[in-house]
Amino acid sequence: MKSDIHRPKKCVESGEVLRLTRRVMMKIYGHPSAINVQKVMWLIDELDLSIELDEVDIHHNAQDADALAQKCPMRQVPVLEDGPNSVWESHTILRYLVACYGNKMWYPDCAFQRSRYERWMDWCLSSFQPAVKTACLEASSDLKVREAALEQCRQDLEKLDNELAERRYLISDMMTLADIAIGTVVHSLAVAPSMTLPPHVSQWYQQLKSSSGYQRWVVQARQTQPA
Q: Which CATH number does the domain housing residue 87 bear? A: 3.40.30.10
- Is residue 222 included in any domain, yes or no? no
Q: Please give the Cα distance from 60 to 95 (Å, whole number).
A: 29
Which of 71, 101, 131 terminates a domain? The answer is 101
Q: Which residues of 106-129 are buried (b: 16+ CB within 10 A; e: fewer)?
A: bbbeeeeebeebbebbebbeeebb
Q: Specify the pLDDT at position 45.
A: 94
Q: Which domain holds residue 116?
A: 111-214
pLDDT of residue 4: 36
Q: Same domain, yes or no, for 155 and 81?
A: no
Beta strands 79-82 and 26-30: pairing type? antiparallel
Please check whether residue 117 lies inside any domain of the structure.
Answer: yes
Q: Look at residue 105 in the predicted model and tell me its pLDDT.
A: 92
Domain check: are 122 and 95 in the same one? no
Same domain, 117 and 177: yes
Structural domain contains residue 83: yes
Identify whether 96 is part of a domain: yes
Question: According to the model, what pLDDT value does residue 22 have?
Answer: 45
Instruction: Clarify whether residues 148 and 73 are in a common domain.
Output: no
- Statement to judge: residues 40 and 119 lie in one domain: no
Provide the pLDDT for residue 63: 63
Per-position pLDDT tens, the chain of length 227: 333 333 334 444 433 334 344 445 789 998 899 999 999 999 999 999 988 888 776 665 556 666 666 665 566 779 998 888 889 899 999 999 999 999 999 999 999 999 999 999 999 999 999 999 999 887 766 889 999 999 999 999 999 999 999 999 999 999 999 999 999 999 999 999 989 999 999 999 999 999 999 999 999 986 544 44
Give the residue from 101, 131, 158 where a domain finishes.
Answer: 101
Clarify whether residues 129 and 199 are in a common domain: yes
Residue 189 lies in a domain: yes
68 and 133 assigned to the same domain: no
Cβ atoms of 197 and 205 closer than 8 Å: yes
CA nearest neighbour of 34 among 60, 67, 62: 60
Which is nearest to 226 in space by CA: 104, 76, 121, 93? 76
Angle between helices 35-46 and 90-101 (to 10 degrees): 10
For the entire predicted model, the pTM comes to 0.84
Residue 13's pLDDT is what?
A: 42
pLDDT of the residue at 86: 86
Residues 167, 192 within the same domain? yes
The total number of structural domains that make up the chain: 2
Q: Which of 66, 101, 136 is the last residue of a domain?
A: 101
| Residue 190, in any domain of the structure | yes
Same-domain pairing of 204 and 137: yes
Would 170 be classed as within a structural domain?
yes
119 and 91 share a domain? no
Output the pLDDT for position 8.
37
135 & 207 share domain: yes
